[in-house]
A and B are shown apart, each in its own frame.
Chain A
């Protein structure tokens, strides 16, 4: 009988903890795409650009907190090799907005860790803009790099 109690207690607690894992998620939705850029001419993408901005989807639990932290590249690598393209992110290059109609967009610096209190919606999108600065003698071709968003769910 006591062993039975132990098992029951364990199962019950596992079930209680499980919803956090099931409901909390972060997903990359859209790549940050600068498209064609010209040698020697810096090019920016606004976080509000509906096509070129990067986009993540984050879902947690209403009433709780999510801490978000970007790992941002400083250079994109030429796909064919042999060159790098500087990329930078400014203080207004990230915008978070909840999915609830009354949610207001919040602009923040993607270089800094940001914590959100989920008040009006349990899920939200984060859009990301940025700037590339090709040199006058930049090697032509395609460049790419990885942007990581890490969410800590509380």
Chain B
């Protein structure tokens, strides 16, 4: 009889534990962010083809004195993506002058010597700021005047967009 009581008591305790068997568990993740200083992008030099003639294509190389240049400042050594919005024509009133065959080069210092060549486009190109937070981007291209190209001054806009990654 005493043994039976003990068994029953044990069962009662265990059953009561099982009935209220809510159990808690925890898990962690980490929230992370990296704060960078704001970036600046400056159109430092215009891509200038100078005089061109009907029917004669003309190219400006990135190393040329009249290539386009953008100067960027940002977080030292940070990775940055650059992309471009590029015209397909320069315009003079209603007249178009086709432009294309874009060339580009980036460097951490303000020289095209030893710069990293890339092809400017709407797609992103990965590069990085220097240890001093500087980045220089040169742009060249080719204009292709038609044989009957109207005379005049043609221009268009090249836009560089940069974003940390």
Contacts and interface: CB of A to CB of B under 8 A. Distances in A.
A73 B30 CA distance: 10
Interface string B1-37: 0011011001100110110011111111111111111
Contacts of B7: 2, 5-6, 9
Contact of B25 (A5, A25, A73, A143): A25
Given A2-B4, A141-B34, A143-B34, A38 B39 contact: yes
Contacts of A41: 38
A3 to B, nearest CB: 7
Contacts of A104: none
Contacts, number: 150
B35 A151 contact: no
11 contacts: A2-B7, A5-B7, A6-B6, A9-B10, A10-B10, A32-B30, A33-B32, A38-B37, A38-B38, A73-B31, A138-B35
Interface of B: 3-4, 6-7, 10-11, 14-15, 17-18, 21-39, 75, 78, 164-165
Contact of A141 (B17, B22, B27, B35): B35
Contacts of A43: 33
Nearest to B7: A6
Interface of A: 2-3, 5-6, 9-10, 13, 16-17, 20-21, 24-41, 43, 54-56, 73, 76, 85, 87, 128, 130, 132, 134, 138-154
Contacts of B37: 38-39, 140
Given A146-B28, A148-B28, A20 B34 contact: no
A40 B22 CA distance: 45
A140 B35 contact: yes
Contacts of A148: 26-28
Given A30-B29, A150-B24, A150-B26, A36 B10 contact: no
Given A2-B7, A6-B6, A34 B31 contact: yes
Nearest to A1: B3
Nearest to A145: B31
Given A35-B165, A147-B30, A10 B25 contact: no
